[in-house]
Amino acid sequence: MARIIDPVEQDHYIRALTALNDAGINFMLGGAFAVCHYSNWWRNTHDLDIYITPDQLEKAKLCIDVAGFKNMGEQMEGDNEWIYHARRDGTVIDLIYRFANLANYIQPDWFDRAPWAKFLGVDVQILPLEELIWMKIFVINRDRCDWPDIMRIIRSQCSNLNWHRLIEVLGDEHCLLLEGLIAVYDWQNPGCMECIPGEIRMYLAKNHKEYLKHPVNVEREHLLDPWLNQRNDEYALWRNE
């Protein structure tokens, strides 16, 4: 990985991560590195997503400030409700403590399941598989879709996934997203369909039938990652007709 990240970015990342470790802050890496860790597929996004619990935010801000990263302010309206952007030169670090759609916060128990790895020689924890998918499954809108990342992860880690845990965190209300993603996965990866347990498919199908029997008129578009969904979209126009 050191060969594909700019040396200046490497130095900035190492300084920030070392500062967080030295301060005893629990954090997990997500984003492109987490996807690479689980799927061996790398996309250089020129930023680093660091996940922390809300109570660690102020202390983490101070750490990366000492490492030379300065507050970028809100890049989109509402950012301060879930993320803190900081930049050093052209390198960006995001401290994330809540889902972008505000559906949940980063929880302390995630660290119990988060695996350890090395990123640029620094010991770090990675978002657990199930929580990584949980957060990414909501990112599906006109501007961005994280489902391809999830499908790469499933193809690489299907036997290691705790499918029951994933269903538990999504809950019956959002399991339709998982069922839809699996349908696309089957289409894309017909030779790897058997890795998804039959009991999971049966549960999702049963849950869908129950959902159709008792539909609730609830608007959910705001859950599809509103950070990239029409907040500042000059071409979008809501019309009440």
Can you tell me which residue has the tokens 């909501």? 138
* Among 29-33, 68-72, 196-200, 226-230, the least confident range: 226-230
The tokens of 181 are what?
A: 């993603």
Reported as a single tens digit per residue, the pLDDT across 56-82 is 999 999 999 999 999 998 887 788 999
Q: Which residue has the higher pLDDT, 240 or 180?
A: 180
- The domain that holds 112 is classified in CATH as 3.30.460.40
In this structure, the answer to whether residues 28 and 119 fall within a common structural domain is yes
The predicted pLDDT at position 78 comes to 82
Domain limits at 107?
Answer: 7-127
The predicted pLDDT at position 43 comes to 80
What CA–CA distance (Å, rounded) separates 46 from 91? 6
Q: Is 222 within a domain?
A: yes
Beta carbons of 175 and 204 less than 8 angstroms apart: yes
In this structure, the answer to whether residues 120 and 30 fall within a common structural domain is yes
In this structure, the answer to whether residues 92 and 156 fall within a common structural domain is no
Q: Whole-number mean pLDDT of the chain? A: 90
Mark which of 77, 97, 127 sits at the end of a domain.
127
Residue 131: closest CA among 159, 174, 162:
162
Beta carbons of 86 and 92 less than 8 angstroms apart: yes
Mark which of 127, 155, 180 sits at the end of a domain.
127
How big is the CA angle at 106 (ends 154 and 132), to the nearest 5 degrees?
10
In this structure, the answer to whether residues 90 and 118 fall within a common structural domain is yes
The predicted pLDDT at position 94 comes to 96
The model's confidence at residue 227, banded by pLDDT at 50, 70 and 90, is low
Q: Which residue has the higher pLDDT, 186 or 222?
A: 186
The predicted pLDDT at position 1 comes to 59
> Order of strands, edge to edge, in the sheet holding 122-126?
70-71, 83-88, 91-96, 47-51, 28-29, 122-126, 116-119
Is this model's pTM higher than 0.85 or not?
A: yes
